[in-house]
Amino acid sequence: MKVCKFGGSSVASAEQVAKIVEIVMADPARRVVVVSAPGKRGKDDVKVTDMLISCAEAALAGQDCERPLADVVERYAEIQRELKLPGGITAEIEKDLRFRLAGDRSHCGGFMDSMKAAGEDNSAKLVAQAFLACGAKAVYMSPREAGMLLTDDFGNAQLLEESYRNLAEALRKSDGIVVFPGFFGYTKDGRVATFPRGGSDITGSILAAAVRADVYENFTDVDSVYPVDPRLVPEVKEGIAAMTYREMRELSYAGFGVFHDEAVIPAVKAGIPINVRNTNRPQEPGTMIVQSRRVLAGSVVGIASDDGFCNIFVDKYMMNREIGFGRRLLQILEWEGVSYEHMPSGIDNVSVVIRERNFDPECERRVVERIKRDLNPDAVLVERGYALIMVVGEGLYYTVGMAAKTAKALSEGGVNIEMMNQGSSEISMMFGVKAEHRAKAVRALYKAFF
Ligand code: ASP
> What is the structure's pLDDT at 420?
86
User: What is the greatest pairwise CA distance in the chain?
Assistant: 77
Give the position, in ligand 1's atom list, of the atom nearest the Cα of 196.
9
Instruction: Identify whether 202 is part of a domain.
Output: yes
Q: Do 275 and 345 fall into the same domain?
A: no
pLDDT digit string, tens, across residues 7-20: 999 999 999 999 99
Closest CA to 136 of 250, 22, 252: 22
Spatial separation of the C-alpha atoms in residues 251 and 226, rounded to whole Å: 11
Considering the domain architecture, whether residues 284 and 309 belong to the same structural domain is answered as no
Rounded to the nearest angstrom, the distance between the alpha carbon of 419 and the centre of ligand 1 is 36
Please indicate, yes or no, if residue 42 is contained in any of the structural domains. Answer: yes
Per-residue burial over 133-158, b if 16 or more Cβ lie within 10 Å, else e, is eeeeebbbbebeebbbbbebebeebe
329, part of any domain = yes
Residue 307 has a CB neighbour count (10 Å cut-off) of 16
Same domain, 286 and 308: no
The answer to whether residues 285 and 314 belong to one domain is no
d(CA 303, ligand 1 centre) in Å: 27
pLDDT classification of 424: cutoffs 50, 70, 90: low
278's CB contacts (< 8 A; 6+ apart) are: 219, 220, 221, 222, 223, 224, 284, 286
pLDDT in tens, 359-418: 999 999 999 999 999 999 999 999 999 999 999 998 887 778 888 899 999 999 999 998
Q: How far is the CA of 183 from the centre of ligand 1 (A)?
A: 6
Does residue 244 sit in the same domain as residue 319?
no
Ligand 1 atom nearest the C-alpha of 36 is 7
Domain end among 290, 314, 343: 290
Which residues have CB under 6 Å of ligand 1?
8, 36-37, 47, 49, 119-120, 182-183, 197-201
Q: What is the DSSP letter of 441?
A: H
Q: Quick one: average pLDDT of 227-252?
A: 90
- Report yes or no: 350 and 343 within 8 Å, Cβ to Cβ: yes
Residues 427, 316 share a domain: yes
User: Are 264 and 332 members of one domain?
Assistant: no
Q: Confirm whether 399 is domain-assigned.
A: yes
Would you say residue 349 lies in a domain?
Answer: yes
Degrees, nearest 5: CA angle 389-392-396: 125
Same domain (yes/no): 49, 85: yes
- Determine the Cα–Cα distance for residues 431 and 386; give it in Å rounded to an integer: 10
Q: Residue 294 region, left (φ>0) first, then alpha (ψ -120 to 50), else beta?
A: beta
Q: How far is Cα 205 from Cα 96, in angstroms, rounded to an integer?
A: 27
For 128-165, how does the pLDDT look when each residue is reduced to its tens digit (9 = 90+)? 999 999 999 999 999 999 999 999 999 999 999 999 99
Q: Tell me the one-letter amino acid at 260.
A: H
Q: Quote the mean pLDDT of the chain.
A: 94
Which pTM does this prediction carry?
0.89
One domain, residues 255 and 147: yes
Residue ending a domain, among 255, 290, 325, is 290
The model's pLDDT over 287-334, given as tens digits with 9 standing for 90+, comes to 999 999 888 777 899 999 999 999 999 999 999 999 999 999 999 999
CATH of the domain at 205: 3.40.1160.10
Q: Are residues 206 and 344 in the same domain?
A: no
Instruction: Give the CATH number of the domain where residue 402 resides.
Output: 3.30.2130.10
Of 295, 388, 400, 410, nearest in space to 341 by CA: 388
Assigned domain for 92 exists: yes
- Measured CA to CA, the distance from residue 64 to residue 62 in angstroms comes to 7
Please check whether residue 296 lies inside any domain of the structure: no
- Number of domains present in the structure of the chain: 2
The closest-lying atom of ligand 1 relative to the alpha carbon of residue 200 is 8
pLDDT of residue 399: 78
Could you give the CA distance from residue 235 to residue 303 in angstroms, rounded to a whole number? 14
| Domain final residue, candidates 259, 290, 321 | 290
The answer to whether residues 66 and 172 belong to one domain is yes
Whether the CB-CB separation of 89 and 123 falls below 8 Å is answered with no
Is the same domain home to 240 and 207? yes
- Element (H or E) spanning 100, and its range? helix 88-101
Report CA(403)–ligand 1 centroid distance (Å). 39
Within a domain: 297: no
Task: Provide the domain limits for residue 155.
Answer: 2-290
Q: Are 242 and 29 a contacting pair, CB within 8 Å?
A: no
> Distance between CA 278 and CA 286 in Å, rounded?
7
